[in-house]
Amino acid sequence: MFTYTARPAHIVFGPGTLEQVREEVERLGRSRVLVLASPDLAEPGDRVEKALGPLAVGRFDGAAMHTPVEVTEQAVALLREAGADCVVAVGGGSTTGLAKALAVRTGVDQVILPTTYAGSEVTPVLGETVDGVKTTRSSPDILPETVIYDVELSRELPVPIAVTSGVNALAHAVEALYSPDANPVIDGMALDAIRRLARGLRGLAEDTLEARTELLQGAWLAGTCLGAVGMGLHHKLCHTLGGSFGLPHAPMHTVVLPHVMAYNAAAAPDAMRRIADALGATDAPTAVYDLVVAAGGPTSLRELGLAESDLDRAAGLATAAPYPNPAEPTRDGIARLLRRAWAGERPAPTGVSVLDRLTAQVVSTFAGTPDPRLRALLQDLVPRLHAFAIDNDLTQDEWQHGIDFLTRTGQICDTTRQEFVLLSDTLGLSSVVDVLTNSRTPDTTPSAVLGPFYVDGPPEVEQGADIAAGMPGTPLWVDVRITDTDDKPVAAAIVDVWQSNEDGFYDVQLPDLDGPVLRGRLRTDRDGRLRFWSILPSEYPIPSDGPVGAMLAATERHPYRAPHLHFMIAAEGHQHLITQLFVAGGKYLDSDAVFGVKDELIVNFAPRTGPTPDGRAIDGEWRRLDFTFQIARR
């Protein structure tokens, strides 16, 4: 049994949405705005004021951490003096907290533009500090009416602050999963938030717009969780440490979260299992700690300025009043938790097997890897490999067979045969990487896998040449154009082409062949056109005399590729394109052995008889291929 209450909120999400702030204020029927910012956010505050135009009647730049009541009283006086009926807050949790404090005291509407991943903008919760003690309250009147998530605003957040702010949001989602008020709707949001926040934190090393978008969407979902269910020990501890000891909000959440998770792990095993799954790990607390380390976040309360002598007092304050939490918060238990967090120790995996401890130990050895991308990949790969072995109860004989298979795969590779590429192709991994790498530009011609038979530096041939060089087969006239996404021709593009013969062999598979055939390098003319003769591609089996062939035989999969012609297109100022054109009506289009067929790449190799475009005399049928490739500018 569960209950769920949906709280009304109007969300505007996307880059550049700051410019809609006036429209959103007017949608609420308000006309006099007090702009709230903080000393370090003067420039975004100026942009908001400019976008509001005459609606902006005042500005308060004194928002402070933990929403001190004395600061709120100053802002209330200014609001009343300006006669404002709405506040627009730009910033993180401090400005949002101030907006909420003003709204609950005066009834003004709120429009929030977050610059961090605090999440409080979608909660009806207000935390205020009086005489060094932070207390919270919840009311529908506290919930902001409108939130504008402008990704460009959050992108300006420096990476170190983005890390701690993102983990702060992660804490909201984590605690929602073991809250007494948990329900399936919030669970789904929380797990989605955890996945998005983890991807965003891992992507901060390259600091892309995609990573920032993942973080902001994750923060929104996590904040929604925070506003819908009650929080437990983590938030109680952080309110204590922040309100009574003045620790910085988001860094404090970042340090404390893995230790609170470890404290609660035995009492909330299902929640921890789901969190670990969302993170691609076996142990949730250590996975969060490792995520913080990999992202470069703080790991100890000592480095945030908490004195060791304050630990016992903090434990006493945090356990002074009862509150819901999976594991009972005892003074001694919380004191031990805080001591580990103060020292920055990695939590010991709790309630896990020897195997889980082994996995955690291996992952921890990569924590010092200087390259952040390599570190993230290795720390994600190891838990997945170990989980495969554990979930399938892998035997020693099966493991040895796998090692032998990979050894044979490597031994058969040489300069003309790439069995590992073939293995990647037949497992679909090459196509997965192809889609991830090349599906960002939907207006361009789809890409396809490179395959194992490309040879760098093919012979250069002139327009109209015959790359078949007398090889038997149905003659094929190829007439293609290369354009950009605006249909403008791309001149002087370098285009490598290659294919198999009519028996299904590439030239590198025919040792008795004299020189390269059925491959060449051409250049487009000023109209972006390319013309050459070849022969009609045919279906063919991939090499099946090695380990990959044995795998296909053991699984009763056929080894055939659908008939196709390879193209690799390179042009200055444009993105590289590797692709294939498949013969419409050809065999194995729906069961290509390497999963390389895409519907947009199945084209008509039209049958023809009679005169050819260049006057070549041909008795019987020949084929014609006309196609336009579209490539993106860089």
Please state the domain extents for the chain.
Answer: 1-157, 159-394, 429-631
- % pLDDT > 70, the chain: 97
User: 439 pLDDT band (50/70/90 cuts)?
Assistant: low
Burial (CB count within 10 angstroms: exposed 0-12, middle 13-18, buried 19+), residue 204: buried
Say yes or no to pLDDT of 512 above 90: no
Q: What is the pLDDT of residue 366?
A: 86
Residue of higher predicted confidence among 398 and 321: 398
Say yes or no to pLDDT of 352 above 70: no
Q: What is the mean pLDDT of the chain?
A: 90
Q: What is the pLDDT of residue 13?
A: 92
Give dist(CA 567, CA 467) in Å, integer.
13
The least confident of 69-83, 342-356, 600-614 is 342-356
User: 351 pLDDT band (50/70/90 cuts)?
Assistant: low
Q: What is the pLDDT of residue 174?
A: 94
The least confident of 68-77, 111-120, 224-233 is 224-233
Give dist(CA 379, CA 294) in Å, integer.
9
Say yes or no to pLDDT of 425 above 60: yes
The least confident of 229-243, 406-420, 600-614 is 229-243
Amino acid identity of 367? A
Question: For residue 419, what are the contacts with CB-CB under 8 A and spacing of at least 6?
Answer: 409, 410, 412, 413, 452, 543, 546, 547, 548
Specify whether domain 429-631 bears CATH 3.40.50.720.
Answer: no
Q: What is the pLDDT of residue 229?
A: 77
CB 99 within 8 A of CB 36: yes
Q: What is the pLDDT of residue 436?
A: 78
Give the CA dihedral 421, 423, 427, 430, nearest 10 degrees. 0
Could you give the 3-state DSSP secondary structure of residue 448? coil
Q: What is the pLDDT of residue 359?
A: 82
DSSP string, 468-511: TTT-SS-EEEEEEEEEETTS-B-TT-EEEEE---TTS--GGG-T
CB 523 within 8 A of CB 476: no
C-alpha 75, offset from chain centre: 39
CA distances in angstroms from 107 to 56, 101, 148, listed in the order given: 18, 10, 20
Give residue-wise pLDDT tens across range 60-81.
Answer: 999 988 889 999 999 999 999 9
What's the mean pLDDT in 437-448? Answer: 78
Q: What is the pLDDT of residue 543?
A: 85
What's the mean pLDDT in 360-385? Answer: 87
CB 320 within 8 A of CB 271: no
Give dist(CA 497, CA 166) in Å, integer.
47
Specify whether domain 1-157 bears CATH 3.10.20.740.
Answer: no
Say yes or no to pLDDT of 221 above 90: yes
Amino acid identity of 296? G
CB 382 within 8 A of CB 362: yes
Of 418, 537, 362, 370, whose CA–CA distance to 467 is shortest?
537
Say yes or no to pLDDT of 243 above 90: no
What's the mean pLDDT in 126-133? Answer: 84
DSSP string, 354-392: HHHHHHHHHHHTTTT-SSHHHHHHHHHHHHHHHHHHHHT
Give dist(CA 309, CA 297) in Å, integer.
24
Say yes or no to pLDDT of 4 above 60: no
What's the mean pLDDT in 505-527? Answer: 90
Say yes or no to pLDDT of 244 above 90: no
DSSP, res 412: T
User: 536 pLDDT band (50/70/90 cuts)?
Assistant: very high
Sign of the alpha-carbon dihedral angle for 452, 457, 459, 461:
positive
Q: What is the pLDDT of residue 634?
A: 84
C-alpha 575, offset from chain centre: 22
DSSP string, 513-550: S-S--SEEEEE--TTSEEEEEEE----EEPP-SSHHHH
Give residue-wise pLDDT tens across range 478-488.
Answer: 999 999 999 99
Sign of the alpha-carbon dihedral angle for 167, 170, 175, 181:
positive
Say yes or no to pLDDT of 342 above 70: yes
φ/ψ of residue 263, rounded to 5:
-65, -40
DSSP string, 13-54: ESTTGGGGHHHHHHHTT---EEEE--GGGHHHHHHHHHHHGG
- % pLDDT > 90, the chain: 60
Give dist(CA 159, CA 517) in Å, integer.
52
Give residue-wise pLDDT tens across range 247-273.
Answer: 888 899 999 999 999 998 888 888 999
Helix (H) or strand (E) holding 438: helix 429-438
Highest averaged pLDDT of the listed ranges 309-318, 504-513, 529-538 = 529-538
What's the mean pLDDT in 82-97? Answer: 94
Give dist(CA 434, CA 444) in Å, integer.
14
CB 92 within 8 A of CB 165: yes
Q: What is the pLDDT of residue 146?
A: 95
Q: What is the pLDDT of residue 7?
A: 63
Strand order in the sheet with 494-498: 519-523, 494-498, 564-570, 577-583, 602-603
The least confident of 120-124, 269-273, 339-343 is 120-124
CATH code of 159-394, in short, is: 1.20.1090.10
Of 362, 364, 390, whose CA–CA distance to 258 is shortest?
364
Give residue-wise pLDDT tens across range 448-472.
Answer: 988 888 989 999 999 999 999 889 9
Give residue-wise pLDDT tens across range 10-50.
Answer: 999 989 999 999 999 999 999 999 999 988 888 999 999 99
